[in-house]
Structure 1
Amino acid sequence: MATVTRPVRETHDGPRNLVEMSWDPITRIVGSLGIYTKIDFANKQVAECHSTSSIFRGYSVFMKGKDPRDAHFITSRICGICGDNHATCACYAQNMAFGVRPPAIAEWIVNLGEAAEYMFDHCIYQDNLVGVDYCEQMVRETTPSVWAKAQKKAAPHAADHGYRTIADIMTALNPFTGDFYREALQMSRLTREMFCLMEGRHVHPSTLYPGGVGTVPTQQLFTDYLVRLMKYVEFMKKVVPLHNDLFDFFYEALPGYEEVGRRRVLLGCWGSWNDPKVCDYEYRHMNEWGKAMYVTPGVVVDGKTVTNNLVDINLGIRILLGSSFYDDWEGDEMFVTHDPLGNPVDRRHPWNQTTTPRPQRRDFEGKYSWVMSPRWKHPETGEHLALDTGGGPIARLWSTALAGTVDIGYIKATGHSVKIYLPKTAMKPEVEFEWKIPKWSNAIERNRARTYFQAYAAACALHFAEKAMEELHAGRTRTFTDFTVPDEAIGCGFHEAVRGVLSHHVVIRDGKIANYHPYPPTPWNANPRDVYGTPGPYEDAVQNTPIFEENGPDKFKGVDIMRAVRSFDPCLPCGVHMYTGEGKLLEVRHVPMFGAQG
């Protein structure tokens, strides 16, 4: 962390001393994310923020010319955390491009695998990475007055989770020594096993393909999954009340804490878990099968739904530059002028994007990041909205709640909330949790939603397992539909990676990939200021965030800034990748064969 103190800005009261502080790289995430700030310690507020990423994203370059059937295997390597989400989304795009519909049991197997991934990743991130920001050690060091209050505050739901005070919860979150920290590690192992039962290998699946899966469905397979799932369901009955007690305490102990990481409600969700009865992967039916997803796609602006239509969502995507290290493609070839429904496709849409890197010195007054700036163009206002994913769960739950269409027994969306029903388990009775649309999109509510979505994913997995076994018992066990690769086609896949929206857009010409652009959640969240000067979501959420940390500049840890950024669940491998251009010959070496002389 670098620190420089200087008078930077004048106010009506005179000079305003801002302290420049940077965290590069941000810890407890994957990848090269740098956060550069100017902090007004006198007024305890972040005055300015820039989000940077220091390596180039290159998949859109080297995917060109590849066999379209390999897209899911290649793109799963985009990330070592959510590679299966990429493989799944790529298969969705391939299914559309190839005109293939997998058998129902194959879709239920994919849904079970993806549900396990949400449970695994949210568990390990929430309790072993984000949780550290709220643990005893961190709170003691940054806000000792809050620790003193936590010791005296009885936990309202102690009977449900077993911790008498808020301080006891914080102690249980201490890394490596805390009881709850260690328990969460065990649960993340259990959910990873669940994933591997369905998709073969974590995190790069070995059994996912366009047209279906290679997993062999058996009674034993689903039983092994369910045994583990019920242990996780029981764990959720402890986790949800525990986190509610912890997060509610921060609002109580620190009045005004709702402003930490708060930004305008601009949420994007592309939907998750297809219903095989409705989803045929045909673009002309995309609105219908999108709305049948078990997480409802939607764009939510200022707390209200703009659209749940995946066709509208697709056509509204724009890739802007501004502060990114790339050349523009304004004069380049248009790969797709109209979608299969005849709607015009914009030049700045992923189907038409060209990626040309232009390395240069970082300049916060000019270009300063390798992340581009995805935006969604509002069909009525024309605004290029800097949507965020809120780390994934808050956008998913908000969109699903407002839509009010999901009702599967274990889950019911009400129009203003989502009810989650968890059945009786070995040690705990049945429980119903209700996630209610919050007042704010801020750090605390992003984290709270992550807790509820773990329970949501577990409840959905119970439904998927029942549906899969219905197919099995009916003898419908074929898991693959044959297909041929067309000479020319376009396709798009929409899914939710763990931390938010994920889309893959492919153009096929002469039987090869002519253009391919994956857009995961991190480019949506971590992008820099665009051509219109609009800051990216990290930047926007950190700017004007109040500082509650009690340390001065000399011992400042930036915990409130870290809580704001980490609430989005950053994962920079999905935002940037190494690029070597044409390469460079370093050495030619002749190695003799085994047994050869000389």
Structure 2
Amino acid sequence: MTTSPERDRDLVEMAWDPITRIVGSLGIYAKIDFKNREVAECYSTSSVFRGYSIFMRGKDPRDAHFITSRICGICGDNHATCSVYAQNMAYGVRPPQLGEWIINLGEAAEYMFDHNIFQENLVGVDYCEKMVRETNPGVLALAERTEAPHAGEHGYRTIADIMRSLNPLEGEFYREALNVSRTTREMFCLMEGRHVHPSTLYPGGVGTVATVQLFTDYMTRLMRYIEFMKRVVPMHDDLFDFFYEALPGYEQVGKRRVLLGCWGSFNDPRHCDFTYENMSDWGRKMFVSPGIIVDGKLITTDLVDINLGIRILLGSSYYEDWTDQEPFVTHDPLGNPVDIRHPWNQHTIPRPQKRDFNDKYSWVMSPRWFDGQNLLALDTGGGPLARLWVTALAGLVDIGYVKSTGHSVQINLPKTATLPEKTFEWKIPVRNGELLSNAIERNRARTYFQAYAAAAALHFAEQALREVHDGRTQTWEPFTVPDEAISCGFTEAVRGLLSHHMVIKDGKIANYHPYPPTPWNASVRDVHGTPGPYEDAVQNTPIFEENPPETFKGIDIMRTVRSFDPCLPCGVHMYLGDGKELRKLHSPHAFNPS
């Protein structure tokens, strides 16, 4: 979108710090142009530093997944899984197929759990009747008069009825979603013992005792979830489509250039041997395809290329540079040169200082992906948007329940207790001839990926049961820790791409860097002045809220930020050492980025 000249603007400085309904260390500082109804500038900040990459050094590599699981109390199992993948590569161990099917079932349950609770109980509040009444009463009045196109499938007659069902604590659908979150956590615990820090997940496989009863218990809960999703997908389609019609131009809210990254998810144990040398091949066999999309085009599905292209920039973050340090890794196992700014070579050197929007203002670094010419500020689309978009274009997945067509993803849900078989198709979002990576489509993709994860889980459960019926019940393979190794793990955390990079020397961890989605999404202006995805998406956002500056809530800004599913613990990490106590004194500072 174009912006007005500075002389025609009426700029008001506003801050939302902390952003609510997420872990509270994310702040958004913005200049709002109320005259032209748009956001002029945005700065994303994180006030927390935790330092996992520092205190991982010197640890026994076998403890890596137990430690890194504690990076986050929301997606800890994603970190544990990614760490196990990196350890498998380092130790040269290939888990039994049954062990990998169990891990896939656990990760599928995590996607179902986390997306459900975030979408319905956190993001959903942004679109509920109470919020719309406070920010856009005219939209609510129209919603009362608008029949829901799929009312016969989800049971809500009008769009306003859907909005009322999302009201926190009292809305019918809000409460139902809370119950669903309980059963999906049970599904995870059946596979990996404990949620969110797995107790039966190890390098080499799992310690889960695989029985027919175990998978039957999982499947009974899964089928209830699938029945739930047959109502949820059409309900959200009705709600999100309504906002486009009620507020012409709303597709610009949270819109940014289509720069999406997905590292792939759900390994196929029939192909994945966890060797770096074969990573390009087994990566493409994942049930969620890895890839990078630039301006709507899929430019690679090669995990080796993806790995080598990662660069960690500093720019506006509170760290000292490390490029004068000796690199840990000069070449990857295939002989390709490794950049000094690659996570394998990164040093975390914190330098606390006063926040200055003209210089340093956040503890989040600025990951970028180098395509050979440009350092791209990729985002994850909240996770599902990138996963579905990459998988759709790659056209590599076809397991009956889910299929990528080259332009869409088909999700086939079988007959359940009270509902017939149902097929959903996620299509690459286009409106008025324009590809859309925006707030509405990030949220819509989250709903479709819940259905995708459930459908994929059906396939995983069938394969696991086949292993058990055929007598192949081994779930773990022994291994030894080498004196020296370099390795990486790639998967998708709930809210997007996740990689763990490890260097082992003398049998201990010499360097370890986890890169979850939050540093990518919440990254700040890098050394070249390129804003991070939150900043970029908010700066492109028009204002549709009806409130004047005095009572302005910033709902369009909040919808933009929360559409990425922000979770700041994964962005930055703290280490004090020697039992020191950290005390922080708060004092107000004027926001003045100009």
TM-score, with structure 2 as normaliser: 0.96
- In the other structure, the counterpart of 2:463 is 467
Question: Secondary structure of the equivalent of 1:14?
Answer: helix
Cα distance change of structure 1 residues 198 and 585 upon mapping to structure 2, 3 Å threshold: closer
**Corresponding residue for residue 586 of structure 2:** none
Contact 1:84 1:202 in 2 (8 A): yes
Equivalent of residue 476 in structure 2, options 472, 475, 480? 480
1:533 paired residue number: 529
Assess if the C-alpha contact under 8 Å between 2:314 and 2:321 holds in 1: yes
Asked if the contact 2:61–2:508 (Cα under 8 Å) also holds between the matched residues in 1, the reply is yes
Aligned 8 A contact 2:330 2:339 in 1: yes
The one-letter code sitting in structure 2 at the alignment partner of 1:397 is L
Identify the residue that residue 82 of structure 1 maps to in structure 2: 75
Paired amino acid for 1:554:
E
- Work out the CA distance in 2 between the residues paired with 1:373 and 1:281: 28
Using the TM superposition, give the Cα deviation of residue 585 of structure 1 relative to its aligned residue in structure 2, in angstroms: 8.5
Aligned partner of 1:514 among 510, 517, 521:
510
| Structure 2 residue 356 is the aligned partner of structure 1 residue 363 | yes
Q: Tell me the amino acid that sits aligned with residue 524 of structure 2.
A: P
Alignment equivalent of 2:131, drawn from 126, 130, 138:
138
1:22 counterpart = 2:18: no
Alignment of 1:83-482 (within 5 A): 83-379=76-372, 382-439=373-430, 440-482=436-478
Matched residue SS, 1:283: coil
Distance 1:12 1:481, change over 3 A: closer
Deviations 1:109-135 (A, max 9, x none): 000000000000000000000000000
Would you say the 8 A contact 1:211–1:480 is kept in 2?
A: yes
Q: Secondary structure at the match of 1:492?
A: strand
Kept after mapping to 2: 8 A contact 1:57/1:370: no
Tell me the secondary structure at the aligned position of residue 549 of structure 2: coil
Say which of 42, 48, 67 aligns to 2:35: 42
Contact 1:347 1:353 survives alignment (8 Å):
yes
- Give 1:544 shift: 2.7
> Aligned with 1:284: secondary structure?
coil
CA distance in 1, matches of 2:4, 2:385: 37
Partner of 1:7: none
- Secondary structure, counterpart of 2:324 in structure 1: coil
- Of residues 50, 54, 73, the one that matches 2:47 is 54
Distance across 1 between alignment mates of 2:123 and 2:147: 23
1:63 equivalent in structure 2? 56
Deviation (angstroms), 1:13: 7.9
Q: How far does residue 12 in structure 1 lie from its aligned partner after superposition?
A: 5.2
Asked whether the 8 Å contact 1:31–1:573 carries over to 2, the reply is no
Query: How far apart are the structure 1 equivalents of 2:320 and 2:469?
Result: 56
Per-residue deviation, 1:14: 3.3
Query: How far apart are the structure 2 equivalents of 1:431 and 1:389?
Result: 28
- Distance, in Å, in 1 between the alignment partners of 2:173 and 2:194 is 27
| Counterpart residue number, 1:546 | 542
* CA-CA distance at 1:471 after TM superposition: 0.4
Root mean square deviation, CA, Å? 1.1
- Please name the residue that 1:594 is paired with: none
Q: Given residue 492 of structure 1, which amino acid in structure 2 is its aligned partner?
A: C
- How far apart are residue 576 of structure 1 and its match? 1.8
**Aligned counterparts of 2:46 and 2:249: Cα–Cα separation in 1:** 31
Supply the AA of the counterpart residue of 2:113: F
2:254 & 2:476 partners in 1: Cα distance?
45
Task: Name the CA distance, whole Å, in 1 between partners of 2:16 and 2:455.
Answer: 38
Q: Separation in 2 of the partners of 1:404 and 1:310?
A: 16
Q: 1:423 to 1:13 in 2, by over 3 A?
A: closer
Distance 1:387 1:12, change over 3 A: closer
Aligned to 1:593: none
1:492 aligned to which of 488, 493, 496: 488
Task: Specify the SS of the correspondent of 2:199.
Answer: coil
Alignment check: 8 A CA contact 2:256 2:540 kept: no
Could you tell me how far 1:11 is from its partner in structure 2? 6.5
Whether contact under 8 Å (1:110, 1:198) holds in the other structure is: yes
Deviations 1:254-295 (Å, cap 9, x if unpaired)?
000000000000000000000011000000000011000000
After TM superposition, give the deviation of residue 55 of structure 1 in Å: 1.2
Number of residue-to-residue matches in the alignment: 575
Distance across 2 between alignment mates of 1:73 and 1:579: 17
Partner deviation per Cα, 1:170-203 (whole Å, 9 max, x = no partner): 0000000000001111111110000000010000
**Structure 2 segments unaligned to the other structure (5+ residues):** 431-435, 583-594
Q: The residue matched to 1:419 in structure 2 has which SS?
A: strand
Q: CA deviation at 1:580?
A: 1.5
Matched residues in 1 for 2:23 and 2:464: separation?
34
Q: Which amino acid aligns with 1:517?
A: H
Identity %: 77
Q: Contact conserved, 1:491 with 1:505, CA < 8 A, in 2?
A: yes
Letter in 2 for 1:351: W
Q: What is the one-letter code of the residue matched to 1:354?
A: H
Q: Which runs of 5+ in 1 are unaligned?
A: 1-9, 587-598
Q: How far apart in 1 are the matches of 2:177 and 2:362?
A: 35
